[in-house]
Amino acid sequence: EPEVTQTPSHQVTQMGQEVILRCVPISNHLYFYWYRQILGQKVEFLVSFYNNEISEKSEIFDDQFSVERPDGSNFTLKIRSTKLEDSAMYFCASSADNSNQPQHFGDGTRLSIL
């Protein structure tokens, strides 16, 4: 069964550094998402992406965050200047459409900011 893959599985970064989290969505999917889960808290929506542009974003997704689909397969989340509170598990997801098809999630990238 096709799956969403994320790399790296664990990223350790110094505060203030830029970090890029990478995702390869399922190949025939058109909608892409990023979520995060701070330890002990709920999974929170960050952003959705369709047709090469952001279609929805949350209040969390401020100017420090950006997303990009640099080629036909990858979908990336960049955090420009990381803060301690960015430490979390980041999940990428994709779906075939925006109606009844479910979102399929990757295994996540654990981001640790020192």
CA-based torsion, 97, 99, 105, 110: positive or negative: positive
Cα 53 to Cα 86: distance, rounded to the nearest angstrom: 23
- Two structure tokens written together for 20: 């890029």
Spatial contact of 21 and 90, defined as CB atoms under 8 Å apart? yes
Counting residues that bind other proteins (by CB under 8 A) gives 26
Cα 85 to Cα 72: distance, rounded to the nearest angstrom: 31
- Two structure tokens written together for 14: 């110094």
Binding mask 36-75 for other proteins (x = CB under 8 A): -----xxxxx--x-x----xx-x-----------------
- 103 contributes a contact to other proteins by CB under 8 A: yes
Please, which of residues 12-41 interact with other proteins by CB under 8 A?
31, 33, 35, 41
> Which of the ranges 11-19, 21-29, 74-82, 101-109 carries the binding residues for other proteins, by CB under 8 A?
101-109
Q: Which is nearer to other proteins, 14 or 102 (CB)?
A: 102
Contact residues toward other proteins (CB under 8 A) are 4, 6, 31, 33, 35, 41-45, 48, 50, 55-56, 58, 91, 93, 98, 100, 102-108
